[in-house]
């Protein structure tokens, strides 16, 4: 990161508490005939962020820590005393009026957020109807388990005999798969 030097403006003339930090940075940048895109390329800080600093739109920046870092880097690049610029920014930011909650963000004072009686009534009726339907459907769904037909069932002895015959066959043929039930 290169630094611009030999500025004709006297640095002490720029540091007045009533001169916004953004104005000081913009004046110095313009003195060097640098555009915001020139500064963006040199510092790798987006031009939109640099413009927000120069315009004093700090709410458009990602946060106070980033803003301080951007100001420090920008001031160093322009050959200004970076620490002095950060102190000036902090003093100006602390004396700036605090934002108040807008009417849109303040808690509602009217009853528009309370559900209407008809909506609550419909919800309760649907809930009761669901319970009734669930109760009737569970009564009519008696499940009966039937025994297997005799042609499909296999006596326990047959299963045992089948296992023994598989074991004997595997003894003769070791490559055969062993199946157990």
Q: CATH code at 60?
A: 1.10.260.40
Determine, yes or no, domain membership for 109: no
Q: Residue 41: inside a domain, yes or no?
A: yes
Closest CA to 166 of 181, 155, 154, 179: 179
CA distance 162 to 150: 18
In a domain, 23, yes or no: yes
Q: What is the pLDDT of residue 46?
A: 95
Domain span including residue 82? 11-95
Instruction: List, for the chain, all residue ranges whose pLDDT scores fall below the cut of 70.
Output: 1-17, 96-115, 136-145, 148-181
Does residue 28 belong to any structural domain of this protein?
yes
What's the number of domains the chain is made of? 1
124: in domain = no
Angle at 54 between CA 51 and CA 59, to 5 degrees: 75
Determine the pLDDT at residue 139.
53
User: Does residue 161 form part of some domain?
Assistant: no
Residue 107, domain member (yes or no) = no
Residue 127 lies in a domain: no
- Cα separation, 164 vs 98, whole angstroms: 90
Report pTM: 0.48
Q: What is the pLDDT of residue 33?
A: 95
pLDDT, position 106: 47
SS3 content of the chain, % helix, strand, coil (to 5): 55, 0, 45
Q: What is the pLDDT of residue 100?
A: 43
């Amino acid at each position: 990161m290169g630094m611009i030097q030999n500025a004709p403006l006297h640095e002490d003339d720029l540091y007045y508490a009533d001169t916004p930090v953004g104005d000081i940075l913009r004046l110095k940048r313009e003195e060097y005939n640098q555009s915001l895109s020139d500064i963006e390329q040199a510092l790798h800080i987006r031009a939109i962020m640099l413009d927000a600093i120069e315009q004093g739109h700090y709410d458009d920046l990602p946060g106070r820590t980033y803003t301080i870092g951007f100001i420090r880097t920008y001031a160093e690049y322009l050959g200004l005393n970076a620490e002095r610029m950060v102190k000036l920014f902090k003093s100006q930011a602390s004396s700036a009026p605090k934002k108040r909650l807008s009417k849109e963000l303040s808690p509602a004072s009217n009853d528009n957020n309370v559900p209407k009686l008809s909506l609550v009534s419909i919800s309760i009726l649907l809930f009761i109807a669901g319970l009734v339907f669930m109760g009737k459907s569970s009564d009519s769904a008696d499940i009966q388990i039937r025994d297997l037909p005799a042609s499909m069932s296999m006596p326990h002895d047959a299963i045992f005999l089948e296992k023994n015959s598989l074991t004997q066959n595997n003894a003769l043929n070791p490559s055969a798969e062993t199946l157990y039930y």
